[in-house]
Structure 1
């Protein structure tokens, strides 16, 4: 399917490098508006060690996972100075890799189970894993690794590591391509460059698209991804959305569908960091095209679809953390439904790399900054 791709900003060098591949691309440049009034920003906590993600408990706590620290708790208006005890050890922390995501079991109220995704191993052999434990009385118990991605890879690059529970209580896990292993993204015998779908015991659901194929791993749900650091479910429509980092240019948002191929590295809207062409094609038969592409890159991390009453004007918008652009990017589907357009960038005056964006149970927007002394922020109505 060849979806229309709308560029937000186009670097001349990137456009030249892939112009022959982008004949079907709408290259109208839109300039996002400056920071808009209409919300208040509150700093809830500081001193987080490169925070990566968060989850909201029914008890009113916020569990925050730090890439280079542990799991912290924000409760009763303050950040607990001590990490949650019982969290997994042996985490590989270097460059991109470390602790990445935290998700509550859909039946958390009954079973108190929490799932973590992190990198395990060392520089010579590491992998993304899913850990499951019970969170009670401010501590983790009964923790165990229930899933390990395969094969092992060298180096810390492109771990992926986002988690998302679906309405059927299955769990999605994004696994990056490992940087030097980019061609594994098209190899169904490897987990690298994929979105995996497992149940809460880490078994592959029988309705996964590649179950029963001898040449494919049964956990694979979608493939052809570079490094997904944003997964979100639109609770109103049921759509599953992902954004991923391109190389030099080519960041994108995709509507995920089980069994689909999203192209990397056979198709891309970016070029290599050294200026070389990765692929001469932006589209190809049998490959899903992105609904929006950023070139130059914004380096997206963290994704939410806003549904709530606090910001009615944001209803249905994508809220995207941007590391390189140092903003929260707002985007929305065009009227034709086949493309996405950026409409705004906020918090640009902070100059902070944004690592995660979540919509809280109160309808407020919660943000984590990517800093050694990271911050937890909350946007609300004035």
Structure 2
């Protein structure tokens, strides 16, 4: 009887997670949009260094500074060689809140190794137009001949740790095999060392860096300081993209549990639910192909406080989700569909304006329409 109650609860949760969405036409978008940069390649990650500059990564292996005073781009030197094939390349960039005190900027990239590549966490400092003191903090055990599912996003908590995500590298069994890093979210100290309170420290069969596992390809990761919650979004196969709340040591199911289907048949991947494996807080069927993820805490869009924003690659829009106090999704809106561009990266400035980077090589700025 307990198992049947769990099944009924899980089915009810999926109904809530697949709530209907509303698309916003250009006429009723609640913001003013301006294109501030073009011809940048795939803008995979971006962060505001200060009120005047955005640091962004180009998947092909370059990084640049966008000056918001004149919208001019300066390309940086000092980057390593990257494995820029298919989904691999120079990936995320993140700057911790106390950047001014130490100057470290953090990156993930696919590091080449003969014909394979490994998702790698690194850091460097910015001196004028050069990245200096480049350090590979963790070259993960995630080699694969398949050039897909590298992840990888970075998030910082408020206790000196960072999290970063790695996909299963196209080899599904990796996500349940804790002897490698693939299909996991990792937690490190900012110098690359392993925190003593990581969930599997001391277990000889599990990598010490692993914080959670059972992930397919996490492309969005965000730590909300207001609630001390770590949010994640990942690609499902054909259907079944997931938003998850990440908890210490938990198994998120892939490929044993999935809401998606095989690419070349109508067959379900695994099962939809299994006791002991974490349920997503929202699924997308059909897939939107998610990218970056933020939880909005800015002032520019006061009505969006606490909403999750993610980019969509396949369905080409900015996705906004509102949850109730029980973390059930109760409203979804879709914006920027008229751009017809794959939304890859997101950033927010100190006033709450939102920056959107696309695979078409553009960066847009969204501000409150009522202020213009």
* 1:51 matched to 2:43: yes
Aligned to 2:179: 189
Return the alpha-carbon distance in structure 1 between the equivalents of residues 340 and 321 of structure 2: 20
Return the alpha-carbon distance in structure 2 between the equivalents of residues 236 and 316 of structure 1: 9
Residues 155, 225 of structure 1: alpha-carbon distance in 2 compared, 3 angstrom cutoff: same
Structure 1 residues 267-286: aligned runs within 5 Å: 267-275=257-265, 277=267, 279-286=269-276
Aligned to 1:377: 364
Q: CA deviation at 1:79?
A: 4.5
Q: CA deviation at 1:368?
A: 0.3
71-80 vs 314-323, which deviates more? 71-80
Q: Deviations over 1:130-181 (max 9, x none)?
A: 12111122321111212111042112110001111111121111001001x1
Aligned to 2:120: 129
Picking from 89, 93, 96, the partner of 2:87 is 96
Return the alpha-carbon distance in structure 2 between the equivalents of residues 230 and 57 of structure 1: 20
69-78 vs 127-136, which deviates more? 69-78
Aligned to 2:342: 353
Would you say the 8 A contact 1:45–1:78 is kept in 2?
A: no
Aligned to 2:30: 38
Q: Deviations over 1:199-224 (max 9, x none)?
A: 12211100000001111000000000
45-54 vs 25-34, which deviates more? 25-34
Aligned to 2:14: 25
TM-score by length of 2: 0.91
Residues 76, 351 of structure 1: alpha-carbon distance in 2 compared, 3 angstrom cutoff: closer
Return the alpha-carbon distance in structure 2 between the equivalents of residues 226 and 321 of structure 1: 18
Return the alpha-carbon distance in structure 2 between the equivalents of residues 238 and 331 of structure 1: 19
SS in 2 for 1:197: strand
Aligned to 1:154: 145
Return the alpha-carbon distance in structure 1 between the equivalents of residues 154 and 21 of structure 2: 32
Structure 1 residues 250-329: aligned runs within 5 Å: 250-275=240-265, 277=267, 279-329=269-319
Q: Deviations over 1:75-99 (max 9, x none)?
A: 14345444211122x2000111111
SS in 2 for 1:92: coil
Return the alpha-carbon distance in structure 2 between the equivalents of residues 165 and 29 of structure 1: 30
Aligned CA-pair RMSD: 2.0
Would you say the 8 A contact 2:19–2:331 is kept in 1?
A: no
Q: CA deviation at 1:103?
A: 1.3
Residues 24, 72 of structure 1: alpha-carbon distance in 2 compared, 3 angstrom cutoff: closer
Q: Deviations over 1:332-382 (max 9, x none)?
A: 113432x224421111111111001222222101100112xx111110013
Return the alpha-carbon distance in structure 1 between the equivalents of residues 68 and 174 of structure 2: 45
- Alignment coverage as a number of residue pairs: 359
Return the alpha-carbon distance in structure 2 between the equivalents of residues 176 and 144 of structure 1: 22
Return the alpha-carbon distance in structure 1 between the equivalents of residues 79 and 131 of structure 2: 6
* 1:172 matched to 2:159: no
Q: CA deviation at 1:33?
A: 3.7
Residues 25, 363 of structure 1: alpha-carbon distance in 2 compared, 3 angstrom cutoff: closer
Would you say the 8 A contact 1:123–1:156 is kept in 2?
A: no
Would you say the 8 A contact 2:61–2:82 is kept in 1?
A: no
Q: CA deviation at 1:245?
A: 0.2
